[in-house]
Amino acid sequence: MIARKRGPLEKNATEEVEIPKKLRSSHVAALILARGGSKGIPLKNIKLLAGVPLIGWVLRAAIDSEEFDSVWVSTDHEEIEKVAKSWGAKVHRRSEKVSRDNSTSLETIQEFLEEHPEVTVVCNIQATSPCLHPSHIKNALKKITEDGYDSVFSVVRRYQFRWKEVEKGSDECTEPENLNPAKRPRRQDWNGELIENGSFYFATRDLIMKEGRLQGGRVAYFEMEPQHSVDIDVDIDWPVAEQRVLRYGYFGQGVSLMFCEVSGCLTDGRVHLSGALDEPDAASAKGSVHSRDTEGLSVSIHSRDIAGLRKLQKDDVEVVLVISKEDVVLRQMRYKLKIMTGCEVMVVGEDPLKDVQSMVKKKKLDWKDVAYMGCEAASASCLQLAGLSAAPTDAQPDAIGAGKFACKQGGGAGAVREFAEHVLLQKQQARLQMKQDLIDRNCF
């Protein structure tokens, strides 16, 4: 869910806070432009990068910053719209007029503002900048809300010497543009140059609509670290970009509770009957752990998935297994599953959201603190709301479309372990980022 903006401008219950007049009616919106007609990489904006749609990386950072009154994706493509909504964003369906190859970002943003007169400040975040962090957004926005700037954009410091380009075949000599070759500086003796990195552009409504530009008025920049200045438009080598994102991307704040549907996720959806249980065939027994009851019912769970559950529990992630009340056989084996996995088992009705939501509230958690793995169309709402979510590769299309992480394995064949490793990576990265933030605060 998109959180309302929070910060020093809110009134405390016991204290009156004077709000600057020009900010009293402000509405700050994030806007990600994601046209479907990418020429370089088809549907690049939703292409999976480290298991997550490219646009998902910046949406997660924007929403977790809790600085925006609304987060939007402007698109002309149905599939991009579905992905955007699954990540908690609103969708602005842009017109054909601003969906052409020669349409500019400014034209698209102006169209958005025309349809949303409540927006007073807009932040154009580029979908191709997957290493954006909430802290970048928070600190940049302060320059507008607290320091009174009209526009703020992101830059990165580069240490590159530039030379004048000369026409091929010309006798003209090239000349240095930003150095004296006779006194070539060492890197540590030179401050470098600030270059736009394209991650985001904050601007007021008046600047965009009245002056027709994103940079103007009182202008400020926000300097980002080189490791966070990854641009997929430039880094066209996808595997290289994935390695950068896995190391420097924003993975969220870490989940503490995970729901996992048993049928279709933890198992392949089949339950074995008596007569075929005494001597399981080698294929079914290989890599699986079996549980059977006195009535001759048996369920098989892949050993990799069991290991994944164990790793989550070891890292203080509570795992709750979900069984449909319609699944009479699994309900009978509820106790066996609990013993087998060490996880709590809950039974849900036709709409899993109702029961799962109740448990989330009971544990006093927000959906961003929750991971969900499901395979049925009925699970789509849970998959959309959860901070992290996934569906096995053989799940129903609606479930796959609602999940935020794309599994390569099927239900009962390692998909749970695959998603568990993604959850654990997210927690690890979140801890590292929190540690780095603490170091940064103590140093300045």
- The whole-angstrom separation of Cα 55 and Cα 438 is 28
- Residue 259's pLDDT is what? 97
Contact (Cβ atoms closer than 8 angstroms) between residue 230 and residue 244: yes
Banded pLDDT at 249 (limits 50, 70, 90):
confident
- The whole-angstrom separation of Cα 322 and Cα 411 is 14
- Residue 280's pLDDT is what? 37
- Residue 73's pLDDT is what? 97
* 70-75 and 90-93 beta bridge pairing: parallel
For the question of residue 184 being annotated catalytic, the response is yes
Query: Among candidates 238, 243, 228, which has minimal Cα distance to 41?
Result: 238
Helices 334-341 and 303-314: crossing angle in degrees, nearest 10, is 70
Q: What are phi and psi of 183, to 5 degrees?
A: -130, 55
Distance of CA 206 to the CA centre of its chain: 30
* 121-126 and 193-204 beta bridge pairing: antiparallel
Asked if residue 205 has pLDDT above 70, the reply is yes
Neighbours of 333 (CB within 10 A): 22
Work out the end-to-end distance of the chain between its first and last CA atoms, rounded to an integer number of angstroms: 33
- The whole-angstrom separation of Cα 353 and Cα 238 is 36
Asked if residue 289 has pLDDT above 80, the reply is no
Contact (Cβ atoms closer than 8 angstroms) between residue 352 and residue 320: no
- Residue 437's pLDDT is what? 53
Distance of CA 294 to the CA centre of its chain: 45
Residue whose pair of structure tokens reads 């997660």 in the numeric block: 60
Give the containing element (helix H, strand E) for 130: none
Beta strands in 76-165 (DSSP E): 90-93, 121-126, 151-158
* Residue 305, CA distances (Å) to 291, 309, 342, 364 in order: 14, 6, 13, 28
Buried b (16+ CB within 10 A) or exposed e, 359-376: bbeeeebebbbbbbbbbb
- The whole-angstrom separation of Cα 85 and Cα 72 is 9
User: What stretches of 116-164 show up as alpha helix (H) in DSSP?
Assistant: 134-145
- Residue 433's pLDDT is what? 66
* Residue 343, CA distances (Å) to 216, 308, 416, 431, 440 in order: 57, 12, 14, 24, 38
Q: Write the pLDDT tens digit of every residue in 343-387.
A: 999 999 989 999 999 999 988 888 888 999 999 999 999 999 998
- The whole-angstrom separation of Cα 102 and Cα 106 is 12
What's the length of the chain? 444
String of DSSP letters for 347-369? EE-SSHHHHHHHHHHHTT--GGG
Q: Write the pLDDT tens digit of every residue in 149-198.
A: 999 999 999 999 999 999 998 889 999 999 999 999 888 888 899 999 99
- The whole-angstrom separation of Cα 393 and Cα 410 is 5
The pTM (predicted TM-score) of the whole model is: 0.72
Percent of the chain with pLDDT over 90: 56
Least confident of 18-22, 131-135, 224-228, 274-278: 274-278
- The whole-angstrom separation of Cα 136 and Cα 199 is 10
- Residue 20's pLDDT is what? 43
Q: Write the pLDDT tens digit of every residue in 55-88.
A: 999 999 999 999 999 999 999 999 999 999 988 8
Neighbours of 243 (CB within 10 A): 12
Contact (Cβ atoms closer than 8 angstroms) between residue 54 and residue 129: no
Query: Among candidates 302, 263, 315, 261, which has minimal Cα distance to 409?
Result: 302
Buried b (16+ CB within 10 A) or exposed e, 4-32: ebeeeeeeeeeeeeeeeeeeeebbbbbbb
Asked if residue 242 has pLDDT above 90, the reply is no
DSSP secondary structure code for residue 263 in this structure: B
Neighbours of 292 (CB within 10 A): 18
Catalytic residue among 6, 93, 100, 184: 184
